Structure 1
Amino acid sequence: MDVITTHLNADFDALASMIAAKKLYPDADVVFAGAQEKLVREFLAGSFIKKIPVEFKRFRDLDLSRVKRLILVDTRQRSRIGRFEEVIGRSGLEIHIYDHHPDAEDDVSGAVSIIKPVGATTTILTQLIREQGIMLTPEEATVLALGIYEDTGSFTFSSTTPDDLKAAAYLLTCGADLNVVADIVTRDLTREQVSLLNELINAARIYTIHGIDICISSISVNKYVGDFALIVHKFRDMENLNVVFALARMEDRVYMVARSRIPEVNVGEIASYFGGGGHATAASATIRGKTLIEVENKLWEVLQSRIRPTPVARDLMSQPPICVNELMPLKSVEEVMIRFNINAVPVVRKDSSEPVGVLSRQTVEKALYHGFDDAPARDYMNRDFKVVGPDATILEIQEPLVEFQQRILPVVEDGRIIGVITRRDLLKYLVEERSTHPRELNGELLFQKKREKNIESLLREQLPEYVIDILKRMGRLGHRLGYGVYAVGGFVRDILLRRPNLDIDIVVEGDGIVFARAFAQEEGIRVRTHKKFNTAVLIFPDGMKIDVATARLEYYRYPAALPVVEFGSLKMDLYRRDFTINTLAVDLRPERFGRLIDFFGGQKDLKEKTIRVLHSLSFVEDPTRILRAIRFEQRFGFQIGRQTERLMQNAVKIGLIEKIGGHRLFHELQLILMENDPVPALRRMDEFQLLGVLDPLLKWTEKKEKLFRSLKDVLSWYELSFLDEPVEKWWIYFCALLDGLNASQLEGVCKKLDLPEGHKTRLFGALRNIYRAARELEAKESPPPSIAYRILNGLSTEELLLLMAKTEIPEVRKSVNFYLTRYRYVSPEIKGRDLKEAGVPPGPIYRKILDELLYAKLDGLVYTKQDEWEYLKRHYPEIFKDES
């Protein structure tokens, strides 16, 4: 069997090339490797294609084992031919290739390989058809012309060659209908496409990389919009751009379309990094499993490395290196560190420049504190250190400085130290040199825009005046210290949503602990610090707390681990957060107070009511974010983005939730149960099969739904009844969630959640009390108040409310209702002192008498104190005589 195929997401050049190849290989089957572009699909569904004697077979009807010759057109990349990749390399398979794309790393080779740098692959095949004297019908010639016209931009692309014009001219002699071609190639944009074009223009940013202006525009839409390449082409022409990379997140994929008019930027080569392809002037890629932000960051890295070579160790190192001799006394080492203001120094051999260790200022200061001024450096240096060569890559440099937290990295050549790299040097490259200030299309620098979004008026609308004053004082202190100070996260999110929230988080571009201590000293308030994470908590006299953190970058040593923290910038700090809506920040510095900072499209997602992660490994690094996504989705009435939902499902499927520590899982579950209405979130948890993590038999059934709805009604009744006693709603919901599990299953849940012993005892006791009370009340028909009191007395309010919600018997519910609102407030007017005055000897008889009076009063047998005395005379004549 011979098979003709082309690349995934086939365009008109691919379609025309397949039809042309069929003329050269008349016995071959024509099969698409995957999907086609929208316009190609519409064309294939129309009437014109039926005039061409080509049958397109479905891939699923193909027996790959019978393929003996594979004819590839308009591609030769292994990664772009879908499941046909399975036959590549098979013994006896013959491959024929016809392509116009430049070489790529995953190209396959063929027995026949005709590759020419022309504007369209159809041009190559048209030449062969003409040379072999094969006749074309007017309809076939029209489709072939369509392939050439589309891939050359009607002969306006710089990739167009004289051969393309000659091929088109020959097709016209064969009867090609240019009216059909024009109807498809020169089509107008739809309303949706015009809207997308407008978004591209507004989102466009110009970056200058090694002297070359590159336009990058990233947009996000919730549904697929066809012909993105056409939109980008019009965008490039409208703005007269030499290089443009357009990224669009549509549903759960990111589409990249790139165009270049200059030889310095080969967009086909860059697209290949994303599994796409094309040629130097036009390329595209469809990226799955990555968020838009991840693709943006990766694109930036690729552009940096392709347009400007990535620096190696010799480019980053400081030289000449400041070193100390291994025999130098520690007192002298300290003087060197102070003189050059350094915190770590390499130690070299006494007779050479070979590094033998590293000394930190902290180690030196501790040794001097203990009186070892004259001890040689080699006695206290760290001998377990790494070095790199002058050609070491960024990744090789990052490992010792970040992963192993080595303070300084010697660069060694021929056994001698020629320079050093510090973490500051690395961060300077990663943050400052890579964050070229972008410009708008009109050339105006973004950070110099006159009209910036300032939400100071919204801050004043949503926050008390004293909070505004605190934030301003923080900004002024940051200005004096030379630090950037920002309010971030959920606090900013809720301000934009106009939801009350005084849970303030501050991020400092500098040392957060130094900032917090200075602010506490100025304000005369308390401060708690956490040096491991470089965080602090400011505690005000009225009990208000403000968290202060150092701008940091978190990375995870393994899935579900606690994060390791390193210093970073505000953008790096925000990038580590869970969802785009939590990455918003407000500048507090005096000259920029109230300026909203949005690196990752958080405002747009707030507007579109979407929960979206920043990167595809978000749930792998911290699976508790799965529960937070559900909680935020239900709290705000948002919707989890399609790609984010798929990432959540995958994380659950591979068992990452199982790796979360019990106390962290319990904390997230507790937060869900603290929501005003946890039912929608619990229902969503069940959809993601998260309840089964607690116990395989724990499901969200109709019975469970009914219990929670009943419980919500009961809690509303309790609040509206003006009952002052506060209740722990989350605890009631927690007990209700586990209601129905047996003792063994409850033990398993407690173990899974690492439940504190007090909570475990309370849980078992609560469920036992509820079951017992329900059983006893249900056994009675309309029990008198005294009986109901005896059954219910001793149960907590939480247990009583759950019992009230759980029971389906009106009499039981009525008994609990009356107990909560009446019975528990009843007490006899006769007290113990009255009995003592009446001459009754103190003892157990007191409790018996008072309880009996209470039950009599509950049942309406007595009302006044006199009634109570009369009752006692009748029932205890031997104690209470007439004279009493």
Structure 2
Amino acid sequence: MEKVIFLEEGADLDALSSAYGLLLIYPESSIFKPKHLSRRASEVFRDFRHLFRIREDLPQEFDLILADTHHYEVYLEEFKGKVKDIIIYDHHPAHMAGVKGKVQQVGSTTTLVVEELMERNMDISPVSATLLSFGIYEDTGFLSYEGTTSRDARALAWLLEKGADLRIVRKYLSDTLSKEQIDMLSKHLQSIESLFFNGKKIVIATLKAEEYEPDLLRIIYDLREVRDSSALFVIVSAGYKTYVFGRSLRGELDVNKILEHFGGGGHTFASATKLEGAHAERVKSVLTSLLEGKRVALKVKEVMTSPPFVLHQDTGISDAILELSQRNFAGAPVVDDAGKLVGVIYKKSLVRALKHYPEGRVRDFMLEEFHTLTPEDFIWKAEEILSRYGEKLIPVVEGDRLVGVITRLDLLYSMRQQTAYLKAYERKIKLPPHIEEVGREIGIIAEGLGFKAYLVGGVVRDILLGKEVWDVDFVVEGDAIKVAELLAQKHKVEFHPFPEFGTAHVKVKGLKLELATTRRETYPHPGAYPLVEYASLREDLLRRDFTINAMAVSVNSQDFGTLIDYFGGLRDLKDRLIRVLHPLSFVEDPVRILRALRFAGRLGFKLSKSTERLLRSAVSLGAISSAPKGRIMNEVRLALREERFLEILELYRKYQILAEIFKGITWSPKLEKKLLRLRDIITWHKIEFPKEVMDYGWVYLLVLLEEMKEEEGMAFLRDISAPSWVRETYKIMKRGSKSTEKSLLEAKRNSEVYLSLKNKPLYFLLMLMTKENLKEKVKLYLEKLRFVKVNVEKFRGLSGRELGEAIEKEKMKIMDEALE
């Protein structure tokens, strides 16, 4: 089988020398023409090319030989179907165990090849010995680098015996610089840094303008560290301006694509840009993030809040203060009747003005001289305005149209993202395949309309927890109903819009989708239903209840799968904490008290210290009683669906809201013991009868209501909109429980047990099992008696009532005889 030796892009002398030695070991081999070699390897290859067997095309089938490789899997994928066998020689064994060839820890790959030549007693020429010695000398630093072994020295000794010419070695391995060049380089060595991104080495040099000399770029470019890298970036700080130069050295990195983010221009191999107001270290940090493949917001349009909240110039002072306070805003742009931007107002100014001019209007105190930005401006221009002029917000305009607003908080988030030493608030996550497919479709549709779309809320939390998800929520910065309509058209399914809420429901490929337009919410008074306005993604997330439910995942093509976590939800998820987003959360919406405890019970999480304090405070202020009963009951219904309802109930009791919800219930050790027994019974029933799917939460509720007066219990069941069968079971429990218990206690025969429990609801039977003296008889009925079958052929000729009575009589006979 013909063998082909491959050299990686930018291969050094060790790789080239190894490849030459492999040509000696495998006479049927040749080297596939390398595209690019390191500077030294290029010089040696140029001068000794006549000694290498080179081919420029590949046979239909071949054995693949790799020397000093790092990505052998790439070759296997690229030549799938052609490669019959693979042979590897490498001196970095950690990532290649059990392959053919020789993979061992020594100072140089060439050493391994030379050892094989020695083992085969091959006689080589002095020129060949010199070529092989290049690799060992270079990779071991003339036997001085850490990692050099005695085996490297022995291999060199053998090559010297074969006539390796040290004069030629010195010629190619010795670099010389002039004294001036050495002095220049020594001043800047500390500013040159080699970094690794996705297997590529990138060199970044950061210089000051007064130190920068044109010849320095050439010297840096000639450094071994640079020549052996994939790309070089040089950042030059010149006072208020910063220049960035990019050079691709192997064609592995499109430097223009990177510098386009900074507004640069050029081509794949060379690009440059000039920035104003951006510090060199900041640019380096952003550049590093871009090379890591992170999405970095650099333009105002990427961080601004849009649509912006605005105040009309004729709004009264008191109303304006209330509007700003409800949204937790320090200020807002001001517009006239035509929606034209006419000023900026701050809450502090309004509060001061209220004391002296309570009847005043916003127009009387707004700032009419202010800075504006365009969506295409870089964010450091915004930073300069906010820091130099002390402004708290800047309107963003497109022509004469107000399109957004940028605040200090917006810039804080972008700086977190751009600063390498701070943990970024975004990361990539893998979506389940069925959600990823639909998510990409929604992202494409949204982008086609000029919108942005995100997976949001509880579905993100559950994906991060590894739970299966089929009900999926998306939000759209734009028109969610239009996106849902186009998605429904594509899949030829119905969609259900709700224009008053800006939402739509669609079922696609087994997924129940809700698409909502991003919005902000304000509460007119505690416990009230919120008032809704369109807003940005950040504001939409801010209106949510807890940090773990306030995360989003982008489904836009440019950053698909990026987790957006403004409030530390991922951290709280890892720490197993429930944390509210702001201090008034429970006061504004007391139903969140129940939601906090439902999530804590469901997930086995704890409340954060501050959240627990705020919850207890809200309860003590009577917040639950101020919330609409319908919303409270709806939340309790949701809790009844949880598998860990008993844990949620215990949290209700711990935080003293149980009596607020279930008025008339007295918690006692007896009740607690009964509920714990019921949990064991439910676990048994799930295991024994998995096909009998039940809403077990209602059984817990019936036990809770057992000691309550019937009319009070029925009233509660009506308030919570309990299903009719629950209400009927409750009536049986209240009216017929004692007679059933009595007959069951007196039952001596299996048939008597059967008659006592026949036609009773299953929920009622599970409740009866909580009574220790009845448990075994109910269990007998559920496991055996209710399944007794009769051969109806014995009763041919009978019909109607006579047939039924005969069958029942036969059943009881079987029970009493066969099941004794």
TM-score norm. by structure 2 comes to 0.50
1:857 to 802, 814, 818: 814
CA contact (8 A) 1:536 1:548 kept: yes
Residue 532 (str. 1) matches residue 504 (str. 2): no
Structure 2 counterpart of 1:24: none
Structure 1 counterpart of 2:786: 824
Residue 704 (str. 1) matches residue 671 (str. 2): yes
Please report how far the alpha carbon of residue 755 of structure 1 lies from its aligned counterpart in structure 2 after TM superposition: 4.7
Structure 1 counterpart of 2:364: 391
Please report how far the alpha carbon of residue 802 of structure 1 lies from its aligned counterpart in structure 2 after TM superposition: 1.8
What is the correspondence of 1:623-772 to structure 2 with a 5 Å cutoff?
Answer: 623-722=590-689, 724-750=691-717, 752-753=719-720, 755=722, 759-772=726-739
Structure 2 counterpart of 1:509: 477
Structure 1 counterpart of 2:446: 478
Q: Residues of 1 paired with 2:419 and 2:403: CA distance? A: 20
Residue 595 (str. 1) matches residue 562 (str. 2): yes
More off after superposition, 848-857 vs 549-558:
848-857
SS in structure 1 at match of 2:474: strand
2:523 to 536, 539, 556: 556
Q: Residues of 2 paired with 1:848 and 1:311: CA distance? A: 83
SS in structure 1 at match of 2:475: strand
Please report how far the alpha carbon of residue 495 of structure 1 lies from its aligned counterpart in structure 2 after TM superposition: 2.1
CA contact (8 A) 1:510 1:551 kept: yes
Q: Residues of 2 paired with 1:775 and 1:686: CA distance? A: 33
Structure 2 counterpart of 1:9: none
Q: Residues of 2 paired with 1:718 and 1:604: CA distance? A: 37
Q: Residues of 1 paired with 2:574 and 2:402: CA distance? A: 35
SS in structure 2 at match of 1:501: coil
CA contact (8 A) 1:663 1:755 kept: no
Please report how far the alpha carbon of residue 543 of structure 1 lies from its aligned counterpart in structure 2 after TM superposition: 3.6
Please report how far the alpha carbon of residue 483 of structure 1 lies from its aligned counterpart in structure 2 after TM superposition: 0.7
Structure 1 pair 664–717 and aligned structure 2 pair: CA distance change class (3 A): same
Please report how far the alpha carbon of residue 297 of structure 1 lies from its aligned counterpart in structure 2 after TM superposition: 9.1
SS in structure 2 at match of 1:432: strand
Residue 318 (str. 1) matches residue 340 (str. 2): yes
Residue 622 (str. 1) matches residue 578 (str. 2): no
What is the correspondence of 1:365-384 to structure 2 with a 5 Å cutoff?
Answer: none
Supply the AA of the counterpart residue of 2:644.
D
1:438 to 374, 395, 411: 411
SS in structure 1 at match of 2:582: coil
Structure 1 pair 436–731 and aligned structure 2 pair: CA distance change class (3 A): closer
CA contact (8 A) 2:470 2:510 kept: no
Please report how far the alpha carbon of residue 749 of structure 1 lies from its aligned counterpart in structure 2 after TM superposition: 2.5
Deviations 1:669-699 (A, max 9, x none): 2222322222221111012222212444413
Structure 1 pair 862–728 and aligned structure 2 pair: CA distance change class (3 A): closer
Q: Residues of 2 paired with 1:620 and 1:430: CA distance? A: 33
Structure 1 pair 625–595 and aligned structure 2 pair: CA distance change class (3 A): same
Residue 570 (str. 1) matches residue 537 (str. 2): yes
Deviations 1:567-603 (A, max 9, x none): 0000111111001111111111101111111111212
Supply the AA of the counterpart residue of 1:532.
E
Deviations 1:30-79 (A, max 9, x none): xxxxxxxxxxxxxxxxxxxxxxxxxxxxxxxxxxxxxxxxxxxxxxxxxx
Structure 1 pair 793–459 and aligned structure 2 pair: CA distance change class (3 A): same
Structure 1 pair 713–527 and aligned structure 2 pair: CA distance change class (3 A): same
Structure 2 counterpart of 1:798: 763
Q: Residues of 1 paired with 2:525 and 2:325: CA distance? A: 23
CA contact (8 A) 1:313 1:391 kept: no
Supply the AA of the counterpart residue of 1:514.
K
Supply the AA of the counterpart residue of 1:486.
Y
Structure 1 counterpart of 2:740: 773
SS in structure 1 at match of 2:756: helix
Please report how far the alpha carbon of residue 614 of structure 1 lies from its aligned counterpart in structure 2 after TM superposition: 1.2
SS in structure 2 at match of 1:859: helix
Q: Residues of 2 paired with 1:311 and 1:720: CA distance? A: 62
Supply the AA of the counterpart residue of 2:418.
L
What is the correspondence of 1:191-210 to structure 2 with a 5 Å cutoff?
Answer: none
Supply the AA of the counterpart residue of 1:785.
N
Structure 1 pair 616–491 and aligned structure 2 pair: CA distance change class (3 A): same
Q: Residues of 2 paired with 1:688 and 1:508: CA distance? A: 37
Indicate the RMSD between aligned Cα atoms, in angstroms. Answer: 3.9
Q: Residues of 2 paired with 1:493 and 1:387: CA distance? A: 47
Q: Residues of 2 paired with 1:391 and 1:552: CA distance? A: 30
Structure 2 counterpart of 1:347: none
Structure 1 counterpart of 2:380: none
What is the correspondence of 1:145-156 to structure 2 with a 5 Å cutoff?
Answer: none
Please report how far the alpha carbon of residue 557 of structure 1 lies from its aligned counterpart in structure 2 after TM superposition: 2.3
Q: Residues of 2 paired with 1:763 and 1:698: CA distance? A: 15
Q: Residues of 1 paired with 2:362 and 2:523: CA distance? A: 27
Structure 2 counterpart of 1:489: 457
Supply the AA of the counterpart residue of 1:849.
A
Residue 519 (str. 1) matches residue 487 (str. 2): yes
Unaligned runs of at least 5 residues, structure 2: 1-239, 241-280, 282-323, 343-358, 368-394
Structure 1 pair 627–747 and aligned structure 2 pair: CA distance change class (3 A): same
Aligned residues: 455
Deviations 1:82-115 (A, max 9, x none): xxxxxxxxxxxxxxxxxxxxxxxxxxxxxxxxxx
Unaligned runs of at least 5 residues, structure 1: 1-210, 212-239, 241-293, 321-385, 395-421, 864-884
Q: Residues of 2 paired with 1:469 and 1:747: CA distance? A: 47
Q: Residues of 2 paired with 1:620 and 1:586: CA distance? A: 29
Structure 1 pair 505–693 and aligned structure 2 pair: CA distance change class (3 A): same
Structure 1 pair 663–497 and aligned structure 2 pair: CA distance change class (3 A): same
Q: Residues of 1 paired with 2:765 and 2:743: CA distance? A: 14
Supply the AA of the counterpart residue of 1:653.
S
Please report how far the alpha carbon of residue 497 of structure 1 lies from its aligned counterpart in structure 2 after TM superposition: 2.4
Please report how far the alpha carbon of residue 536 of structure 1 lies from its aligned counterpart in structure 2 after TM superposition: 0.7
What is the correspondence of 1:323-362 to structure 2 with a 5 Å cutoff?
Answer: none
CA contact (8 A) 1:431 1:569 kept: no
What is the correspondence of 1:175-190 to structure 2 with a 5 Å cutoff?
Answer: none
Please report how far the alpha carbon of residue 475 of structure 1 lies from its aligned counterpart in structure 2 after TM superposition: 1.2
Structure 1 counterpart of 2:579: 612
Please report how far the alpha carbon of residue 559 of structure 1 lies from its aligned counterpart in structure 2 after TM superposition: 2.1
Structure 1 pair 754–724 and aligned structure 2 pair: CA distance change class (3 A): closer
SS in structure 1 at match of 2:405: helix
Deviations 1:147-203 (A, max 9, x none): xxxxxxxxxxxxxxxxxxxxxxxxxxxxxxxxxxxxxxxxxxxxxxxxxxxxxxxxx
Please report how far the alpha carbon of residue 389 of structure 1 lies from its aligned counterpart in structure 2 after TM superposition: 6.6
Structure 1 pair 469–724 and aligned structure 2 pair: CA distance change class (3 A): closer
Q: Residues of 1 paired with 2:743 and 2:423: CA distance? A: 71
CA contact (8 A) 2:520 2:539 kept: yes
Supply the AA of the counterpart residue of 1:559.
P
Structure 1 pair 836–638 and aligned structure 2 pair: CA distance change class (3 A): closer
Structure 2 counterpart of 1:872: none
Q: Residues of 2 paired with 1:538 and 1:295: CA distance? A: 36
Please report how far the alpha carbon of residue 548 of structure 1 lies from its aligned counterpart in structure 2 after TM superposition: 0.5
Supply the AA of the counterpart residue of 1:478.
A
Identity percentage of aligned residues: 30
Q: Residues of 1 paired with 2:397 and 2:623: CA distance? A: 35
Q: Residues of 2 paired with 1:724 and 1:827: CA distance? A: 19
Structure 1 counterpart of 2:392: none
